[in-house]
């Protein structure tokens, strides 16, 4: 159901494949580590693109609400529409902060596993809501192909699956809470009490 980005996707079938031992990544059984190290950063770049898409949804919705009048009231003057857009504004900013927090941890040399998981869960779900709200405010126009909203709506659905489904990332967070105890909430800022 996704758009045709990155040239699309295909199925690969491996039948009797043999790989020379010289091509082994790390040691036997540890190759996944290589992939996972790359994935932490990749998930953040997903989040950056998704935040941009969420902002685009808000822009398109605001633009329409500013020039659509029904029963003598501009859509942008309706409180319910203002609340929808205000909620998205706050959620986008939270998403940006979570991405910055994870990037900071990576810059410090950490794996940022829990920080990346939090950013990925939040921004994936935010993108979903932003596309949905954008379509809602645009009415039938949002459902049509007149704007990029329907494209974003289809694209958004994969965000909660790719590079780890929501449930998997939430389990990772719970695992960190169990192993770190109260340190889970600690921000390693110089001079701050732990």
Enumerate binding residues for ligand FAD (CB under 6 A).
2, 9, 158, 161-165, 167-168, 171
Largest separation between any pair of C-alpha atoms in the chain: 73
Residues 6+ apart with CB under 8 A from 56: 148, 152
- Nearest residue (CB) to ligand FAD, 93 versus 167: 167
Task: Give me the least distance between CB of 110 and ligand FAD, in Å please.
Answer: 23
CB-nearer residue toward ligand FAD: 94 or 162: 162
Cβ-based nearer residue to ligand FAD, 64 or 153: 153
| Shortest Cβ 165–ligand FAD spacing (Å) | 3
Give whole-number Cα distances, 49 to 4, 44, 110, 115, 120, in Å.
16, 9, 23, 17, 11
The three-state secondary structure class of 41 is helix
Nearest-approach distance from CB 118 to ligand FAD, in angstroms: 17
Q: What is the DSSP string of 58-80?
A: HHHHHHHHHH-EETTEEGGG-HH
Closer CB to ligand FAD, 89 or 168, in the complex? 168
**CB closer to ligand FAD, 141 vs 157:** 157
DSSP state for residue 7 in the 8-state scheme: G
Whether residue 85 contacts residue 129, with contact meaning beta carbons closer than 8 Å, is answered with no
Residue 43 makes CB contacts below 8 A (sequence gap 6+) with: 116, 119, 120, 163, 164
3-class secondary structure, 88: helix
Please state the closest distance from residue 39 (CB atom) to ligand FAD, in A.
8
In whole angstroms, the minimum distance from the beta carbon of 65 to ligand FAD comes to 31
Query: 136 or 158: whose CB is closer to ligand FAD?
Result: 158
Q: Least distance from C-beta 109 to ligand FAD, angstroms?
A: 25
């Amino acid at each position: 159901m996704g758009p045709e980005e990155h040239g699309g996707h295909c199925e690969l079938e491996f039948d009797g494949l043999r790989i020379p031992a010289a091509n082994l990544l790390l040691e036997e059984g540890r190759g996944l580590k290589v992939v996972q190290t790359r994935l932490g950063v990749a998930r953040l770049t997903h989040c950056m693109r998704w935040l941009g898409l969420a902002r685009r949804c808000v822009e398109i919705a605001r633009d329409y609400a500013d020039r659509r009048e029904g029963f003598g009231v501009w859509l942008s003057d309706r409180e319910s529409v203002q609340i929808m857009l205000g909620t998205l504004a706050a959620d986008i900013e939270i998403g940006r902060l979570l991405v910055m927090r994870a990037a900071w941890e990576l810059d410090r040399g950490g794996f940022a596993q829990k920080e990346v998981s939090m950013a990925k869960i939040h921004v994936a779900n935010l993108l979903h809501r932003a596309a949905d709200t954008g379509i809602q405010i645009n009415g039938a126009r949002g459902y049509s192909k007149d704007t990029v909203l329907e494209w974003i709506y289809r694209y958004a659905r994969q965000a909660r699956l790719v590079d780890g489904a929501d449930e998997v990332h939430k389990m990772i967070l719970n695992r960190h809470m169990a192993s770190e105890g109260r340190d889970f909430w600690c921000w390693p800022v110089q001079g701050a009490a732990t």
